């Protein structure tokens, strides 16, 4: 049953107080076991659970650095018989905090992994997984959740930041300008301290307004206490709701899905229903 939404002028304030957090990021891989091996052996993740859906011909694997009830995790999708996807140019990279960048790079090299950027003595590096997804490694000391960032490219940074602040209730933290790379990056998330939360990074490459999204990356899932109010808020600020709020057939978990102004997909999941799924 739909929840009565407050007046439009109150939706933004409600969105800021909603109990939202990053649940998982979903993307497709061509060899599930090979990817799991790379993430667990090279990046230090744990395989949390797997589910096989033969009727739909796909398998999911969930990996991360802690329980799904408290951590942001990866949901890998393997579609039967599909060995390769196009990552495209729009997806940026994932951010991972590691204890020792040098040791991690040596491990990745020993396992046949691809190192893209490595600077001697640096506390950062860029590597690539078996499917071409990039991971930025940063050595910053202990953190509550090492899976710290999803970076996506956008064609209009101000428009994107405004949308995520208003429609998603996110906090804008800061921007980084790089004259060398000719880009500006903005960082948003939930909570007062950006060092203690997962971040959504948005990259604007100067003068570039369109990208190829490919068919590999899928979406981010966020938790919410009310998918019905969330959907109204998304529409209020120009989000294109692609799935109206309501329960999923079979499992009854309530969700709503939206595309941002650049076409990036996010699924909002009812918090209470999500916890029931994990029982």
Q: Which residues are annotated as a binding site for Zn(2+)?
A: 75
Q: Please give the Cα distance from 128 to 115 (Å, whole number).
A: 6
- Give the list of residues 6+ apart from residue 171 with CB closer than 8 angstroms, or none: 165, 188, 189, 190, 191, 192, 194
- Give the torsion sign (CA, 251, 169, 133, 111): negative
Residue 200 vs residues 121, 160, 177: alpha-carbon distances, Å? 27, 11, 16
Q: Which residues are annotated as a binding site?
A: 75
Q: Cα Rg for the chain, rounded, in angstroms?
A: 19
């Amino acid at each position: 049953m739909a929840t009565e939404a407050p007046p439009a002028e109150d939706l933004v304030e409600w969105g800021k107080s909603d109990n939202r957090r990053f649940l998982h990021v979903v993307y497709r891989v061509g060899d599930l076991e090979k990817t799991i091996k790379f993430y667990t052996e090279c990046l230090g993740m744990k395989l949390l659970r797997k589910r096989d859906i033969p009727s739909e011909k796909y398998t999911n694997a969930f990996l991360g650095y802690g329980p799904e009830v408290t951590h942001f995790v990866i949901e890998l999708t393997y579609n039967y018989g599909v060995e390769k996807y196009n990552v495209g140019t729009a997806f940026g990279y994932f951010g991972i905090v590691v204890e020792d960048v040098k040791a991690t790079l040596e491990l990745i090299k020993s396992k046949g992994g691809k190192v893209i950027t490595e600077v001697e003595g640096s506390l950062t590096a860029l590597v690539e997984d078996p499917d071409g997804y990039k991971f930025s490694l940063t050595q910053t000391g202990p953190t509550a959740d090492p899976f710290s960032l999803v970076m996506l490219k956008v064609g209009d940074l101000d428009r994107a930041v405004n949308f995520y602040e208003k429609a998603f209730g996110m906090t804008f933290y800061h921007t980084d300008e790089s004259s060398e790379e000719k880009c500006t990056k903005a960082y948003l998330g939930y909570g007062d301290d950006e060092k203690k939360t997962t971040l959504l990074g948005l990259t604007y490459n100067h003068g570039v307004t369109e990208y190829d999204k490919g068919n590999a990356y899928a979406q981010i899932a966020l938790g919410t206490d009310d998918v019905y109010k969330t959907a109204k808020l998304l529409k209020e600020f120009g989000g294109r709701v692609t799935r109206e709020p309501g329960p999923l057939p079979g499992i009854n978990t309530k969700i709503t899905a939206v595309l941002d102004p650049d076409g990036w997909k996010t699924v909002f999941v009812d918090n209470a229903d999500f916890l029931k799924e994990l029982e």
